[in-house]
Amino acid sequence: MSSRSRPRSGVIIVAIIIAGIAWWQFGPRSPHSWSATDIEVLASLSIDNLPPLPLDPSNAVADNEDAARFGQQLFFDQRLSANGQVSCATCHVPEKRFTDGLEKGRGIGLSGRNTPSIVGTAYSPWLYWDGRRDSQWAQALSPLEDPAEHGGNRMAYVRFISKDDAYRGRYEALFGPLPDLSDAARFPANASPLADSAAQDAWAAMAEADRHLVNSVFANIGKVIAAYERRLQPGPSRFDEYVRALTTGNTEAADDILSNEEILGLQLFIDEARCTECHNGPLFTNNEFHNTGMLSFPGDLPDRGRIEGVRKVQEDPFNCFGEFSNDPNRNCPELTYVRTGIELVGATRTPSLRNLGGTAPYAHKGQQQNLADVIDQYNRSPLAMIGHNEAENPLGLSRRELRWLEAFLGALDAPLATPEEWLTAPEN
Amino acid sequence: MEPEMVSIPRLIVILLLASLSANAAGQEQSWLSRSGYYRISFESDLKPLVINQIHSWTFHVETQDGEPVVGATISATGGMPLHNHGLPTDPKMTEDLGDGDYRFEGFRFHMNGDWELSVTVDLNGRRDTVVIPLTI
């Protein structure tokens, strides 16, 4: 008996293994069936539902093409730095989706955080990982004076625009005459409230009215750079094509657009993995701040995140309430009703998930080397080093499911909607 | 005959759906405060209530007998109990519109799911709170 049953049981085991492998390979079948609610959720993520670009009344030249051309020149101009070697594009590299592929940005020195992309940020009420600026133009000013980034000072930048004939012409066509800076007693070579101590002393010694003149020109530099950055918008991806096919009832065509793994990843994304709780809307971000327990590099102090960002944006002289806003009504709902509180300790801004391909490493310190690491973070859900990890329940997904999620994120990569001419340094 | 027979259950479904969507943006439903001093309803300027848009509400406050409560001070906090976090903004009462109506600005919800809003009404020291559940 036993000698006859042994080979039979062997055959059964082999058959089970083969069936198992077959199920693993081909088990989850397409076409995938979505519920009506699922399709609603998918449509809410589609780029076809991206609202028109919100107006920026704080920036009078936000939608002025001449300003955008001028801003494009400044964006790529390395002369806007203390050593003549750093431009905005040094860290925001167009070929890398306007990021730099580094853990932390590197200008003149090493910056404190990972370089976020600029694409689509015109939709965000808050800029930076901690939201310490509330408009693209106010944000654009900050790196110019950061000693680790462009390392310059506002007085020197204003003088630079004033001395360069082409820039002076472009500036004055948009904003009217530049102030006369010839009196060195009134306008020193270097001055800023934020740069090195010599520049700070020089700034403090300037007359209030002169400081205002310099600040106004400096703000306008930010505004033309923002007019350029506003045009950097994501384009439709395979995910968007898929949703378009689904919502037009073209289910079979839909399943040719995404792979089986990507579709299964998408199902997890909107469902079990709970990604859409924060990565929602057509840009896959709620533009809000969350502590998700992203750990620091060993030896690094944890980042205090939004709790500091709130304070900084409220104090920023270039914020929506400030005197350099062009909105006569100072209509600033986000800043008016901004919230602080203990839960913002260690919270950072939800990044968009469009175009993550080729932009590793990820997270606010670049501490996640690849997308698999990021997804695994939510699967493990570690305790936050400071504050409280909001995503405190580990997802408990299998390794195969984690791969599906990663595959889906790849379906969000697409060329920008912005015409090519805006994606390189302009010819002068 | 036949179309009429079919249309009655359909009508019920339509009415049910209509009442649900009205509730999601306020309007019809009202909530009694804990100690029973006030009956509170709200209407959102944003209809339907969707995530990630800052917008305004109007609260309407009455006594249990249906008399409008005028001249009160209202505050609101809220959050998602399941996520252990609050509202992303700090909405504030900006105007007493009279007749028991109060304008509230600065609401924004940043996640779909179950929210709870805790609304406190204070009229001459008579404070009472109501918790309004909200699914977005």
- A134 φ, ψ (degrees, to nearest 5): -115, 15
Is residue B113 within 8 A of residue B85, CB to CB? The reply is no
The question of ipTM being above 0.85 is answered as no
Alpha carbons within 13 A on the beta-carbon side of A398: 5
- Residue B93 near residue B103 (C-beta atoms within 8 A): yes
**Residue A280: exposed, middle, or buried by beta-carbon count in 10 A (0-12, 13-18, 19+)?**
buried
Average pLDDT over residues A68-93: 98
Q: Which two tokens stand for residue A22?
A: 């077959």
Pairwise CA distance, residues A114 & A99, whole Å: 9
**What is the reported pTM?**
0.89
In total, chain B counts a number of residues equal to: 136
Residues A109-142 as b/e (b if ≥16 CB within 10 A, e otherwise) read eebebbbbbbbbbbbbbbbbbbbbbbbbbbbbbb
Is residue A89 a contact partner of residue A425, using CB atoms and an 8 Å limit? yes
Residue A288 contacts B, CB cutoff 8 Å: yes
Task: Work out the pLDDT band at B94, boundaries 50, 70, 90.
Answer: very high
CB A231 within 8 A of CB A61: no
d(CA A153, CA A200) in angstroms, rounded, equals 9
pLDDT score at A252: 85
pLDDT band for position B24 (50/70/90)?
low
Instruction: Say whether residue B113 is in contact with chain A using an 8 A CB cutoff.
Output: yes
Looking only at the bridges linking them, the beta strands covering B31-32 and B38-44 are antiparallel
Query: Is residue B18 very low, low, confident or very high in pLDDT (cuts 50, 70, 90)?
Result: very low
Tokens of B109: 């919800």
Tens digits of residue pLDDT in A306-336:
999 999 999 999 999 999 999 999 999 999 9
**Strand, coil or helix: A250:** coil
Q: What mean pLDDT comes out for the span A94-114?
A: 96
B52–A286 CB contact, under 8 Å: yes
Cα nearest neighbour of B109 on chain A? A286
B114-123 vs A348-349, strand pairing mode: unpaired
Q: Is B36 on the interface with A (CB under 8 A)?
A: no
Please tell me the least confidently modeled range out of A318-322, A334-338, A385-389, B8-12.
B8-12
Residue A277 banded pLDDT, cuts 50, 70, 90: very high
- Written as one letter, the residue type at A270 is I
Residue type, B16: L
Give the distance from CA B1 to its chain's centroid.
41
For residue A305, which phi and psi values (nearest 5 degrees)?
Answer: 65, -135
Beta strands in B22-135 (DSSP E): 31-32, 38-44, 55-63, 73-80, 85-86, 92-98, 101-107, 114-123, 126-135
Say if B81 is an interface residue toward chain A (CB within 8 Å).
no
Q: Report the C-alpha gap between A102 and A265 in whole angstroms.
A: 27
pLDDT at A29 over 80: no
> Rounded to whole angstroms, what are the CA distances from A275 to A3, A117, A352?
55, 20, 12
Q: What is the C-alpha to C-alpha distance for residues A18 and A12, in angstroms, rounded to an integer?
A: 10
Please enumerate in sequence order all residues whose Cβ is within 8 A of that of A281, keeping only pairs 6 or more positions apart, or say none.
A44, A45, B51, B52
Helix (H) or strand (E) holding A349: strand A348-349
Cis peptide before A31 (omega within 30 of 0): yes
Residue A26's pLDDT is 55
Q: List Cβ neighbours of A256 (8 Å cut-off, separation of 6 or more).
A: none
Round to whole Å and give the CA distance between A295 and A346: 10
> In A149-196, where does DSSP find H-type helix?
154-163, 165-175
pLDDT digits (tens, 9 = 90+) for A160-178: 999 999 999 999 999 999 9
Q: Is A286 on the interface with B (CB under 8 A)?
A: yes
> Does B83 sit within 8 Å of A339, measured CB to CB?
no
Any CB–CB contact under 8 A between A38 and chain B? no
**Minimal Cα–Cα distance from A288 to chain B, Å?**
7
Lowest-confidence region among A39-53, A300-314, A325-339, B26-40: B26-40
- Partners of residue B51 in chain A, C-beta under 8 Å: 280-281, 286
CB contact (8 A) between residue B88 and residue A280: no
What residue has token string 């859409």?
A276
Alpha helices in A76-153 (DSSP H): 88-91, 136-145
Which SS3 state, helix, strand or coil, does residue A74 take?
A: helix
